[in-house]
Structure 1
């Protein structure tokens, strides 16, 4: 039995049991729109908000209503790392300027009446970005950024008090008298049991940006564990490793001084330390990367390595050690996403967004060997299951408003479950509950993790390809969408060369080579040219002199192929012209649309960013193929 996952639509929350049943175990439907929903990192709670209320559920299948409050316009919800505190952000009130729109709810207690619980702390914060408090891994510290300092309070799990007027520790922003006009714009607490804090101060007035790691010590914090100064940094992204002894900082400028990128310049820095709170010293380096943007960077769960995808497409995929040295690199490829499995055994690299959705699985313990490939086109969400044996991909709104669906794949590249939606807004896995609770209630005794094996924690079963059970929904999806099912073809072993199915995509230059007797072995054409004879029409490949009209046949433009030559433009063997029937005209029109879609798909495969209307046009390919087949056309005629 593998982990549960939940799906959110406009008014419904659906909870599914994972492999192999994939059966729905809870369905919550609301009369009004579900604005926000989130499962706690600890797996104990599901919180959701509508226009009028806030609700929190607990239980094996989230069947217990724990909290229900009348709250208007809650647009964002966040849990603390251990799930004890729920943070909500409401739209600021226009009529009440003193309205405290951020509320903190304490959930790790017995709640007899779902309607009586009140927030234990609240404050005013207008912006919806960076509004939430930050918490340490065990929820024993909470941090809030004030105009002049960063304040830290220490919390108990029985009677927490958020008294920032009497903080446990304070990190002042005016450490240097010459920098009094500069402020920390970003900070991030580490995920270790002995937490530290990393702060970022951007470049300003000719002074370099500063990245610093601080310990959490009672009183005023002055000690610096590690620090790095650098230029070209207007903002940053921070990512700690799971052990909390190293952090990656992606420094970003608003503009590219060389005018090569619309998104500015990227530089990656690594800060690390040894010993608790840096007692054995710290280190800082700049990570050597290929020229161009950084598409993704992520830590291995082992905390000893990290991977980066960087450079202009096709991008460089490389893996580094804790000193910033390259330990392995792959051939350049069109990828922009990297995800380590929770165990660190596997690495997923994919090309999503404006790329074609190709996914490859690497075996970290076998010299990064490729073990599977599959296509997940139009993917907007991709994540490993908590057990690390399955991958969820989804097409969600508003990123894409057509073909909304969730798909679950096995690590071998096999599609094992599909569910389609008219509109799918959010998907997520539910982590197994790993803390001790009182009498199977939601109240945790302590934050120390359970000492149980994977089976008791409901993690994924370890399966090979021959043992895999495919859900009936996959066959139903393939029957309803044969073109998409063909695109999901995968391969395993060897160098991972994808086994192309009949009707797979073939680029224009390969199509021309194939027409001349060459071509690529194992590849056939999906989109036909006009070499095919339209029923009842004269051949269009001969001109009046009997010579091939190469200019007309191969003529293209930047907007796609030109109109096909009409039947009357050529001469048949008897020199007579034939007039096209309405069916033939409709077929030519559909073929023209199909070739236009082919051009758009090629642009997308090359990394071009398409407009929403062009993406929608690609999604009509199945209907056009169906209309063509209804007129008597088939792919073998291409």
Structure 2
């Protein structure tokens, strides 16, 4: 394997695959917190930040030091296309509140000499990055969202921030812009819709801003993602809004437009499935692009450079599409809130599927520069567990795996595609690393244990000591049997209370509970008694299948049950639960709460001190229940 890879955990480290995944010892490691680390686009330099400096090293085998730039509180870095310049965003500091003067916290530094070429103030970290043309002769920056200033970096004379070489002015607010990667640079500018006026994407040749060479107007566009193809001849514009006027989507509305710099075509891409657009990407060949769209299961369709549909994959839960560097393979996967299934297709063989594998909890996915391997990783802070990286062969075989306590960033070292010959036939996967074998064996053991584990309903801790069914020993049913008048699933009507001795207080309470009258029955009984005293025949009781017992028998039964029950705190008067039963119910409620807390604790959740103290009181609660005559 001849591609380099860079891993970032708490401290950046460089690892080379041709050295059996060993760490490069000569790499100057950081000693303090690292907020940002980045390769240059051509892979020649690697830079990382420290609280008081920025360190730049060359990416040769020995990783020699290139420069140490003494700058404080650098939060973000960005290289020009060929690594000639390094752009830095430092923490802004207000120098004068009354006049609103801030420090010049954005700096453009020449890497070779370490000299500051240009600097200005930008309080917001979002959208601070300047843009360079491919030949690095022109730098463009947004100026107050109304103008775009262009500076000539090819001159040897000092650059004056107040005298840009070229300037683009707009009467409306500039939403975003993107310089093309071609040798003849163009710039695409997005103007959001406002006050009933449609949004627009304008394409100009730099530095001719009198007339756009191509433009497109459309509505439903608060933001727009601009993506050029690799040679800068066509542009994809993904317009989106936060609110869906049809109320069909929580994620708003998305529409895709295709524009050509020659002005020969500009059209909306027709998508035959309703729903949001999940991902778009150009092929490295610049002749086609892929789109994943629609409600799940989403549809994946490939289009040519003029927006004509070429091929569609079957609908599936996917939201990520990546072409390999040589455009031979295409990866379609479902990450984020999806389960992490990855499909690999051979683009040059009529989209024949090569393999499918699972890469769960993936937050980073990249093709290697040689187009033979796929890097997947789980990083923090998106997920703070299972952090680590995996390297897969294009056939779906896992060949390397490494776990980290906290992994923040990971990427391949950028390299030119021309350094690797195009793949005609994919060779067999190399032998897995030792770490991979251990990981696969561990995973197999866990899976076999989960399969052999007997399935069944959850049994609470107090029921695991018995051989009875869960239905007979669950807490809510045991409590229901203790409460007068409560229904128990599966209980036989008229059955005695468990544990009650005939003639005891518990038996008396059960008898009283069985004879409690409803309000309608009591009202009818009083009417019958009144008519009986007057010598009339009593009317039959409504809504009853059998004749009601007379008042004398009812009174006798109630009196007998009441006399059998104690008259102190544990008594039942008129069918009302006793103090003893109320206390039992309260204790059972606490016991159920303790069981829930113990389940959370077993699942790895962190409990508060008050919750831990509740769990510690379980034995005391069970002792109180036994003293009250309750048993499982």
TM-score w.r.t. structure 1 length?
Answer: 0.69
Distance 1:53 1:313 in 2: 47
- Name 2:222's counterpart in structure 1: 234
Equivalent residue runs for 1:108-147 within 5 Å: 109=112, 111=113, 117-147=114-144
SS, match of residue 49 in structure 1: strand
Q: Which runs of 4+ in 1 moved over 6 A?
A: 459-462, 524-527, 541-544
Q: Indicate yes or no: 2:401 matched with 1:472.
A: no
Distance 2:453 2:87 in 1: 51
Following superposition, the deviation at residue 402 of structure 1 comes to 0.6
Equivalent residue runs for 1:170-181 within 5 Å: 170-173=167-170, 180=171
Per the alignment, do residues 542 and 263 of structure 1 end up closer, same or farther by CA in structure 2, a change over 3 Å counting? closer
SS, match of residue 473 in structure 1: helix
Question: Would you say the 8 A contact 1:417–1:474 is kept in 2?
Answer: yes
- Name 1:50's counterpart in structure 2: 50
2:105 to 97, 101, 104: 101
Following superposition, the deviation at residue 204 of structure 1 comes to 0.3
Structure 2 unaligned regions, length at least 5 = 478-487, 492-497, 500-594, 607-632
Cα distance per residue 1:267-315 (max 9 Å; x no partner): 1111113xxxx3xx43111111221111111011111111111111111
Cα distance per residue 1:355-394 (max 9 Å; x no partner): 1111110110111111111111111101111111111000
Distance 1:50 1:369 in 2: 47
- Name 2:591's counterpart in structure 1: none
Following superposition, the deviation at residue 192 of structure 1 comes to 0.9
Question: Would you say the 8 A contact 2:87–2:109 is kept in 1?
Answer: yes
Equivalent residue runs for 1:449-468 within 5 Å: 453-454=419-420, 464-465=427-428, 468=430
Cα distance per residue 1:4-59 (max 9 Å; x no partner): 1111122x111111257222224543332111110111111111112221111114
- Name 2:247's counterpart in structure 1: 259
Distance 2:445 2:190 in 1: 48
Per the alignment, do residues 259 and 375 of structure 1 end up closer, same or farther by CA in structure 2, a change over 3 Å counting? same
Per the alignment, do residues 329 and 463 of structure 1 end up closer, same or farther by CA in structure 2, a change over 3 Å counting? closer
Distance 2:411 2:59 in 1: 17
Following superposition, the deviation at residue 479 of structure 1 comes to 3.8
Distance 1:399 1:361 in 2: 25
SS, match of residue 36 in structure 2: strand
Per the alignment, do residues 287 and 19 of structure 1 end up closer, same or farther by CA in structure 2, a change over 3 Å counting? farther
Structure 1 unaligned regions, length at least 5 = 112-116, 174-179, 435-448, 487-501, 505-523, 545-551, 553-564, 570-575, 578-588, 598-611, 615-638
Q: Indicate yes or no: 2:467 matched with 1:538.
A: yes
Following superposition, the deviation at residue 140 of structure 1 comes to 1.8
- Name 1:528's counterpart in structure 2: 455
Question: Would you say the 8 A contact 1:225–1:282 is kept in 2?
Answer: no
Equivalent residue runs for 1:353-372 within 5 Å: 353-372=336-355
Following superposition, the deviation at residue 251 of structure 1 comes to 0.5
SS, match of residue 102 in structure 2: coil
- Name 2:265's counterpart in structure 1: 283
- Name 1:308's counterpart in structure 2: 291
Distance 1:23 1:526 in 2: 39
SS, match of residue 478 in structure 1: helix
- Name 1:581's counterpart in structure 2: none
When structure 1 is superposed on structure 2, of 323-332 and 388-397 the one drifting more is 323-332
Distance 2:383 2:53 in 1: 28
Distance 1:16 1:415 in 2: 18
Following superposition, the deviation at residue 95 of structure 1 comes to 4.6
Following superposition, the deviation at residue 417 of structure 1 comes to 0.5
1:202 to 192, 204, 218: 192
Per the alignment, do residues 258 and 72 of structure 1 end up closer, same or farther by CA in structure 2, a change over 3 Å counting? same
- Name 1:625's counterpart in structure 2: none
Following superposition, the deviation at residue 160 of structure 1 comes to 7.4
Following superposition, the deviation at residue 350 of structure 1 comes to 0.9
Cα distance per residue 1:87-129 (max 9 Å; x no partner): 000111145643100011112x3x5xxxxx3312111001101
Per the alignment, do residues 362 and 59 of structure 1 end up closer, same or farther by CA in structure 2, a change over 3 Å counting? closer
Q: Indicate yes or no: 2:313 matched with 1:330.
A: yes
* Larger RCO (CA under 8 A, 6+ residues apart): 1
CA RMSD of aligned residues (A): 3.7
Greater C-alpha radius of gyration: 2
Cα distance per residue 1:420-478 (max 9 Å; x no partner): 1001110011123x5xxxxxxxxxxxxxx9xx6527xxx9997523x522111101223
Following superposition, the deviation at residue 503 of structure 1 comes to 7.7
Distance 1:19 1:376 in 2: 24
Per the alignment, do residues 67 and 531 of structure 1 end up closer, same or farther by CA in structure 2, a change over 3 Å counting? closer
Distance 1:74 1:62 in 2: 26
- Name 1:248's counterpart in structure 2: 236
- Name 2:582's counterpart in structure 1: none
Question: Would you say the 8 A contact 1:389–1:461 is kept in 2?
Answer: no
Following superposition, the deviation at residue 613 of structure 1 comes to 7.5
Following superposition, the deviation at residue 261 of structure 1 comes to 2.4
Distance 1:270 1:48 in 2: 37
Question: Would you say the 8 A contact 2:43–2:59 is kept in 1?
Answer: no
Per the alignment, do residues 229 and 528 of structure 1 end up closer, same or farther by CA in structure 2, a change over 3 Å counting? same
Distance 2:445 2:220 in 1: 47
Q: Indicate yes or no: 2:167 matched with 1:185.
A: no
- Name 1:14's counterpart in structure 2: 13
- Name 1:375's counterpart in structure 2: 358
- Name 1:626's counterpart in structure 2: none
Following superposition, the deviation at residue 537 of structure 1 comes to 5.1
Which structure shows the bigger proportion of residues in helix conformation? 2
Q: Indicate yes or no: 2:372 matched with 1:384.
A: no
Cα distance per residue 1:325-357 (max 9 Å; x no partner): 211111111111111111111111111111111
Distance 1:257 1:365 in 2: 41
Distance 2:55 2:87 in 1: 13
Question: Would you say the 8 A contact 1:45–1:62 is kept in 2?
Answer: no
